[in-house]
A = this chain, B = another copy of it.
């Protein structure tokens, strides 16, 4: 009996989140009137407050739910792939694909950052950190297998993570023009092989720099030149 009620309550919460998510996404957090959410659900505003203590809690629950869906989606896409490289490719593709079919979540992520800059770290990064470990392990194994160069794992995971993060936003803001398949290819091409021409005589001088401690360091003097541009 209790479980049934609890179950019912959980289902109701889901329904509310389902309705609230696109409204939050469309109007933004501040400009969303919970009365509107209630009306669309054909429910009184008071009822909403029985399920979520504050507007903020309701909103954050929606974000958390969205991030869970993302994780589940990517995990599911990667699960059955054995080849490490295919796992990476599949993960990237699933990530971009998910956000393309669920633009609401992008908006929610933005709204969260905009409204709750008091939170220690955004929900996105909490989930990101929770899942990053598995990807790092994968890369470590690839390095051990000599498939990937011997570079710090952090460097690889960070660069790829940031690249995906940026790509996801750009796709949303500018409207993705390519399919995620082609986009995945583009990303992989550069991340896997780099942009330098390996056969170029000219690039050798450049490539050699890589071995020095501070490869390309003409930035010190630039810094001196650029004073007085500060914003605040």
Question: Footprint of B on A, CB under 8 Å?
Answer: 18, 21-22, 28-30, 65-66, 69, 72-73, 76-77, 80-81, 85-86, 89-90, 93-94, 97, 101-102, 104-105, 107, 110-111, 113-115, 117, 121-122, 125, 145-151, 155-156, 158-159, 161-167, 169-170, 173-174, 181, 184-203, 206-207, 210, 214-219, 222-223, 225-226, 229-232
Contact = CB atoms under 8 A, between A and B. Distances in A.
Contact of A194 (B145, B155, B192): B192
Interface hub of A90, A111, A192 (most chain B Cβ within 10 A): A192
A209 B216 CA distance: 32
Looking at chain A's contact residues, the main secondary structure is helix
Given A155-B189, A163-B166, A190-B155, A86 B216 contact: yes
Nearest to A155: B186
A151 to B, nearest CB: 7
Nearest to A198: B198
Contacts of A199: 146
A159 B149 contact: no
Contacts of A217: 181
A206 B226 CA distance: 45
A125 B173 contact: yes
Interface hub of A110, A117, A194, A210 (most chain B Cβ within 10 A): A194
B185 A102 contact: no
Nearest to A175: B121
17 contacts: A28-B117, A72-B229, A76-B226, A77-B226, A86-B218, A90-B218, A110-B113, A121-B173, A125-B173, A148-B196, A159-B186, A161-B166, A161-B170, A165-B166, A185-B215, A193-B196, A194-B194
Given A110-B110, A198-B198, A66 B231 contact: yes
Given A117-B28, A193-B196, A230-B102, A215 B186 contact: no
Contacts of A189: 151, 155, 210, 215
Contacts of A121: 173-174
